[in-house]
Chains A and B, each alone.
Chain A
Amino acid sequence: MEFRFTKEQEKLRKKIRNFFLKELPEDFGRSGGDMNEQAQAFMRGFQEKTAAAGYLTSGWEKKYGGMGLGHIEQGIVDEEVGYAGIGWPSNLGLHLAAPAVFLFGTEEQKKKFIPALARGEQIWFEAFTEPQAGSDEANQQTRAVQEGDYFVLNGQKTFISGGYKPDFLYTLARTSDSVPKHRGISLFLIPADLPGISYRPLPTIGGGVQNDIFFSDVKVHKEYLLGELNRGFYHAMATFEFERTGTANSGRAKRALEEFVQFCQEEKRNGKPLFADPAVRKSLAEMAIEIEIWRLICWKAVWWFGNRNKLGPMHYDLSGMCAKRFNTSHAERMSEILGALGQIRQGSKWTKLRGAVERRWRAARSLHAGGTIEIYKYAIARRGLSLPRIPAKLNVQIGRALQEQKK
């Protein structure tokens, strides 16, 4: 048992941290939202710069533009990215879509799609969710009908994150009706500007940028099919195992707490620093413990993933629960400490912490992205604790009986 990093790993952390401290502007991201042209231009340039320095895809094999670093090292890079307050424009493409290309793409496809992404030059959207397919991801209604060398797509995606002009859409579509629904879905990597694709903005209360995407007779060449026809759902599930940016979240939250502690030392209330208030002290200490738990749980997941050949798959992983429970906890505690003034949005001389706490509170109203906490709990209950479940084959019957109940 050991809860520390090697000297080399600490050196790597220092290197990355210093790189970000040097390259980022003093007023980096101090408002949230990177919708505007200037901010986006900066982020794209910075992302490419980071890619050139090797830190964007540190865990990828060298032949694909990575540094071939191990899992702990990747976890450190992610943690520092979060700590610096960075959200890569290509984050979803790099962490969710690229693994699918690596696992299920042909050599042709890897050569075609990966290099530009690895250089940080491309934006890929993860376009899985549909109006009828959220937690029930297999309930895909978007259809891809094969016509010769092409698939013709019709349908709609919704709540798709992304505020940058996309280059590719990593998406699922139904290619067969004749089998259980999760067995008739295929995985695609579609050029985002094909005729028939249109985008509708979906502003969210949390400030995160989401979109509706409409497919209207979109002709997609079969070279954009990833993996096996009708195996797309399983391919997508496999790549979720690779989603290990837990340390980015915990790093980000750690930084937010450090900034908030600083704020509590400087801001006065009733003539004394906030930090002098016993209630504030208690809340801050509890948040510090939560950060430490979060850190330990995320690193367990990173460490286990690196050792999965020896240990097998993780039965349960609490890093998602930590992110949801503790993001909520910290957003609400910090907001509570700010009191009535905590609701003032950025831009006013009365705004506290440049509106960061206000924004985070809004964002934390629902932390469903990537999987609701209920879905996480389902997975823990079933896979982690082997608790009984109603067999899925009874779902349709049960659904019908419940519909009858409504009348």
Chain B
Amino acid sequence: MDYLLDRKQEGLQKKTRTFLEKACPESVVREAREDEDGYSPKLWKKIAKRGWLGLALPEQYGGSGGSLLDLAVLNEEIGRAVCPGPHLSTMLSGLILLDAGNASQKKTLLPQIAAGELIAALALTEPQSAWNGNSVEPAGITVKAVPEGNKYVINGTKLLVYDAHIADAILCVARTKARSKGGDGITLFLVDAKSPGLKCKPLKTTAYDKPCEVVFKKVQVPKSSIVGKVDQGWAPLAKVLQIGAVLTCAQMVGSSQKALELAVDHAKTRMQFDMPIGVHQYVQGHCIDVLWYSETSRWLTYQAAWKLSEGLPAEMEVAMAKAWTNKAHEKACWHAHQVLAGVGYTAQKGAMSLYSMKGLSLQNYLGETDYYLEKIAKEMEKWPAPEQPHGKPLGFWGTPIEEQTPAWEPWRQMREGKKTW
């Protein structure tokens, strides 16, 4: 057991934090909200230079060969700064290409991803799948890709696709075979964002992070754009969705940690009635709850990240981390808001709302709470009955307590109505 990051990870955490404190203050986050593209290409260049995008990609492809745990550490810092940009989309697309891409795709595309020269968006969610709660299940995929000669033609609508409007390529999760025919029937296509018939429209959402409506209208894609095997695209995707879910949790952990610092700092410095408001138990209670939600999320998240990093089966750990952190982050931010009160409620300035608004986006991405709770319940159904002891039964524990003769004198006396004191 070890709850500490190793030295390299501590270094990564420290350097990333220092960098973002300087390069991504509140003003940069607010600018991105107003900006049409929703990010700063200048910041993106710096991020790419720091090797974020290739952190978990092998060195042979221009990455730094880091682990998934390193990626979680990085994402906690991203969450702590509410750093805008297509980093998560690009990282996840890179991981999918790494796992499912052919040699030529990996050789060509991964170095571009690592260098920040290729921005990719993962088009997974659809209007119905988001509504029906199966956005991370093959059953939720209805966007169709039909073979036509040496091409495929994609039709359908994806919704809440992050960074599609600024992407160079869209990794489209499409159905190439009906489920009834067996297998998952899913194929992944890396679609050129400039393809005719492909329209990306950013939506205005709570967090202003511009997830898109992506409409495929008879979009033609060459066979070479297929990533992985036809009709068998879900398996490599599923692994990356697990990672993605944990990375959203890592961002929420960083965000709730920051919310704690904002709340505690305010509680110590805000004076009312001639004393800091943090002296009051109700205010302390809120701060403690921020700590509670952030600390509990932290360890569920890092356990899941560590397990994925070690290549160990982690479905339950991921499900637990995501189901809990989704709700916990919302509550952590709520409690922090109560401490900050008016100061955290202004729309044009103040950091707190940036965290709570972004939280709504993170908690709904890559699997909602109820989806993961049901997953956990299904697994619990398989739990074996706990093994009972083997010794011969002794028979005296079944007597109701009131009828048992106490062994110790004062209790026996009391039962008999006598006094010994």
Contact = CB atoms under 8 A, between A and B. Distances in A.
B197 to A, nearest CB: 41
Contacts of B307: 3
Given A258-B386, A282-B377, A292-B320, A38 B394 contact: yes
B2 A1 contact: yes
A207 B373 contact: no
B414 A5 contact: no
Interface residues on A, range: 35 or more
Interface stretch (A111-119, A135-143, A329-337, A384-392): A384-392
B383 A296 contact: no
B376 interface: yes
Given A1-B302, A27-B394, A198 B387 contact: no
A223 interface: no
A1 B6 contact: yes
B421 A198 contact: yes
Interface stretch (A16-24, A95-103, A178-186, A231-239): A16-24
Given A258-B385, A318-B296, A388-B268, A39 B409 contact: no
Interface in B268-316: 268, 275-276, 278-279, 281, 283-285, 287-288, 291-292, 295-296, 299-300, 302-303, 306-307
B291 A284 contact: no
Contacts of A23: 389, 391
Interface in A262-316: 262, 265, 275, 281-282, 284-286, 288-289, 292-293, 296-297, 299-300, 302-304, 316
B377 A35 contact: no
B39 interface: no
Given A21-B390, A281-B377, A384-B291, A36 B404 contact: yes
A303 B2 contact: yes
A386 to B, nearest CB: 7
Contacts of A20: 389
Interface in B374-395: 374, 376-377, 380-381, 383, 385-395
A378 B421 CA distance: 37
Contacts of B69: 1
A380 interface: yes
B313 to A, nearest CB: 13
B376 A285 contact: yes
A387 B265 CA distance: 9
A204 to B, nearest CB: 12
A31 B391 contact: no
B401 A31 contact: yes
Contacts of A345: 400
Contacts of B24: none
Nearest to B373: A285
B393 A25 contact: yes
Contact of A288 (B264, B283, B380, B411): B380
Contact of A164 (B374, B408, B414): B408
B319 to A, nearest CB: 8
Contact of A261 (B306, B383, B392): B383
B1 A4 contact: yes
A293 B411 contact: no
Interface string B402-421: 00111111110010000111
Contacts of B131: none
Contact of B391 (A25, A72, A258): A25
A304 B307 CA distance: 21
Contact of A387 (B3, B284, B295, B421): B284
For the complex of A and B, the 4 pairs showing the least CB-CB separation, nearest first, are: A24-B389, A36-B404, A281-B377, A285-B376
Interface of A: 1-5, 20-33, 35-42, 72, 84, 163-165, 198-201, 207, 209, 211-212, 214, 255, 258-259, 261-262, 265, 275, 281-282, 284-286, 288-289, 292-293, 296-297, 299-300, 302-304, 316, 318, 321, 345-347, 354, 377-378, 380-381, 384-390
